[in-house]
Chain A
Amino acid sequence: MTGAGGIGPLDVPPGTPERPEDLYEDAPCGLLSLHLDGTVVTVNRTLLRWTGHDRTTLVGRPLRELLAIGDRILYETHHAPLLRMQDEVRELAVTLVCPRGKLPVLLNSVLDRGPDGAPQGIRIAVFLAVDRRSYEAELLAARRRAEESEARVRLLARTLQNSLLPPALPNVPGLDLGAVYRPAGRGDEVGGDFYDVFSTAPDDWAVVIGDVVGKGVAAATLTSLVRHTLRAVVMHVRRPRAVLTALNDTLLQQPATRVCTVAYARVQLTASDAAQVTICLGGHPRPLVMGRDRDLVPVGRFGSILGALPTPALHEVTTTLEAGDALLLYTDGVIEGRRDGDFFGEQRLEALVGTLRDRNAAAIADEVAAAAVDHQHGSPADDIAVVVLRYVGSHQTDSGAANGEGSRPG
């Protein structure tokens, strides 16, 4: 009956006779037939040879009794239901407990349905997986090590990052201060944004925000250099333009190219009813100034990025904050965040800040940073830093610096 193209046993080439029963018994995989309740009906010679079990001890026994205990639970809670739901289960990794020891295998099972479609048995092919499973164990161990290492790196980055920002904003009589720093992405890399607030003399304060080029360790060391240079320089010079010029000189002396942008605001609280703010920008976006009774406007004049030119163009612009007026400094991560190609942008920032006139400094900083993060679906592409200072007035002239962190004699 088997003509050309048939697949019957008569078609095997002469000299290599293969009887179906031999193929079953000595197949290169273990073969099992089970009752629906999971007890073994037949088992092939290959599986007996691998496991060292006798046929008589296996037939009539539930297959699960051959499994390690954890695999038994898996078999009952995963294999059995899956087989009923999808008629087959592929690649269940289990360990057979045998007289000769433990044997890692993969089970591929099919539900055998009768002519009426009703399940009548289970057929399982058993594949040895000794080498594969030990390889998998190595992969799992490697993944665990990678996860641990990642956690360590994240902690290191966070610790380093925290060392580059003031632990807390100083308490400055007459000023309400708020600041937010949000690292890019998942926050597992040290970012390049920083801010600082410190006293340079009684009633004379520096509010600085900046963005160094690059990420990671290089950015962290540069941030550290910039922050400490600024704090050191103000011991000798107070004019913002002179401070940033000195910083520029320091950066140019570095062996590698080290550039950054900085917005430096000198806040003088010597008058009893207003704060005088002198702003100098080194390649940094202009801060916004606002008040209950004044328009929201950018303040300052654009200047050169620092660390690039021997004689950078730096300009001072002075403005006066009256009680209730606020100054918002931010890094480009706020306005350059994109959602589907659409920048957050200065207009959106100004519109948002316009609605926050009556909020305190911390709330304004929080809202701005949150909006910028939201705009990027919660995962900002760049670091985001925002510092807000609001002049609340009625400060005590003499105690101004005394309460401040880092105060120095003037």
Chain B
Amino acid sequence: MSAVIRNNVVVGGHPEGRPIVFAHGFGCDQNMWRFVAPAFATTHRTVLFDHTGAGHSDVAAYDFAKYASLGGYADDVQEICAELDLTDVVFVGHSVSAMVGVLAALQTPDRFGALVLIGPSPRYLDDTGYTGGFSRDDVDDLLASLESNYLGWSSAMAPAIMGNPERPELGQELTNSFCRADPAIARQFAEVTFLSDNRADLARVHVPTLVLQCSDDIIAPEPVGRYVHAHIPGSTFLLMKARGHCPNLSAPAETIAAIQGFLPAGATTR
């Protein structure tokens, strides 16, 4: 199946512009970029997508074996970029998708021209000599929270949410639909996200990288962001005023300015 269809890829912006790919994190879908992506439309070819299993992606394509690690998500990014024939890609990854971008850039460094990592964490669990912020018990607690909040999900709702991209009003009527997924998929995505460990991958990144760190982010605390910066050679670190884990929604202007400031001014159009 086409990756563009599978991942509900939405291409916009300047057809000749340098491609900028926005990858949403754990929890919601490409709507996370609704206040940010339009700012790049005049200068870049904008590419948004939903991870398989999220948003309006093809849920039937969700393969529990493939998505048992972040590598499965990185493969999807590769396939999308290959299908659209994108080069010199600016990859903007939020939350867990920051590491998805790192993995993709390691697989095919030639395709990626820049990485923007928003709220990245190479490992959420604490480890010897490393503070990720969470314990294994915390992750189990999260899984219980997810289960409790996905009670309203039923197989009858799934087609209404997932199967009618041409009728978005169906999805709108359902509460919290931007952050809905099949509970089994949400559970695995949570486990894969919060049990991932990509610390060893950071040193191998040789793409210009911006680490955008929020203030007061409990998902990816500042020391974790600084760890990412310290381990990706030549990376740039920016501590944002924005608080919380989702500056793309809570502080879009600051997020846009940070990304634009990082990208070479003359290189925004080819």
Interfacial residues, chain A to chain B (CB-CB below 8 A): 36-38, 62, 64, 68-74, 76-78, 80-82, 84-86, 89-94, 133, 136, 139-140
Contacts and interface: CB of A to CB of B under 8 A. Distances in A.
5 shortest interchain CB distances as A-B pairs: A70-B141, A77-B27, A70-B142, A70-B145, A84-B249
Interface stretch (B10-18, B65-73, B173-181, B196-204): B173-181
Interface stretch (B39-47, B226-234, B240-248, B254-262): B240-248
B142 A76 contact: no
A85 B175 CA distance: 12
Contact of A77 (B134, B147, B219): B219
Interface string B155-189: 00000000000000000000110110000000000
B145 A81 contact: no
B218 A84 contact: no
Point out which of A37, A64, A85, A92 has the most chain B C-beta atoms below 10 A from its C-beta: A85
B142 A81 contact: no
A76 B148 contact: no
A64 B218 contact: yes
A348 to B, nearest CB: 27
Contacts, number: 104
B27 A93 contact: no
Given A38-B244, A81-B178, A81-B249, A73 B145 contact: yes
Given A70-B146, A80-B250, 8 more contacts: A68-B141, A70-B140, A73-B142, A77-B245, A81-B179, A82-B179, A85-B31, A93-B145
A231 B184 CA distance: 47
Contact of A90 (B26, B32, B176): B176
Nearest to A70: B141
Given A71-B145, A78-B27, A82-B178, A93 B246 contact: no
Contacts of B138: 69-70, 73
B146 A81 contact: no
Nearest to A35: B243
B145 A85 contact: no
A68 B134 CA distance: 12
23 contacts: A37-B243, A38-B243, A38-B244, A69-B138, A70-B138, A70-B139, A70-B144, A70-B145, A70-B146, A73-B138, A76-B218, A76-B219, A77-B26, A77-B246, A82-B28, A82-B178, A84-B249, A85-B32, A85-B34, A90-B175, A92-B149, A93-B148, A94-B145
Interface size class of chain B, counting residues whose CB lies under 8 Å from the partner chain: 35 or more
Contacts of B139: 70
Given A37-B244, A69-B138, A81-B27, A136 B179 contact: no
A17 B141 CA distance: 45
B244 A85 contact: no
A76 B138 CA distance: 14
B174 to A, nearest CB: 10
Nearest to A129: B148
A38 B214 CA distance: 14
A93 B151 contact: yes
B101 interface: no
B218 A136 contact: no
Interface in B93-125: 95
Given A70-B143, A77-B219, A82 B244 contact: no
Point out which of A76, A136, A140 has the most chain B C-beta atoms below 10 A from its C-beta: A76
Interface of B: 25-28, 31-32, 34, 95, 134, 138-149, 151-152, 175-176, 178-179, 194, 216-219, 243-246, 249-250
Contacts of A91: 152, 175
Contact of A78 (B28, B152, B194, B216): B28
Contacts of B25: 77
Nearest to B32: A81
Contacts of A81: 27-28, 32, 178-179, 246, 249
Given A133-B148, A140-B147, A84 B175 contact: no
A85 B178 contact: yes
B149 A74 contact: yes
Contacts of B149: 74, 78, 92-93
Contacts of B147: 140
B144 to A, nearest CB: 6
A97 to B, nearest CB: 11
Contact of A72 (B95, B216, B218): B218
A62 B245 CA distance: 14
A76 B28 contact: no
A69 B179 contact: no
Contacts of B146: 70, 74
Contacts of A38: 243-244
Nearest to A139: B151
Nearest to A84: B249
Contacts of B26: 77
Nearest to B139: A70
B240 to A, nearest CB: 13
B244 A76 contact: yes
Given A37-B244, A91-B175, A80 B249 contact: yes
B164 to A, nearest CB: 18
Contacts of B219: 73, 76-77
B195 to A, nearest CB: 13
Contacts of B31: 85
A86 B178 contact: yes
A260 to B, nearest CB: 36
A152 B250 CA distance: 48
Nearest to B25: A77
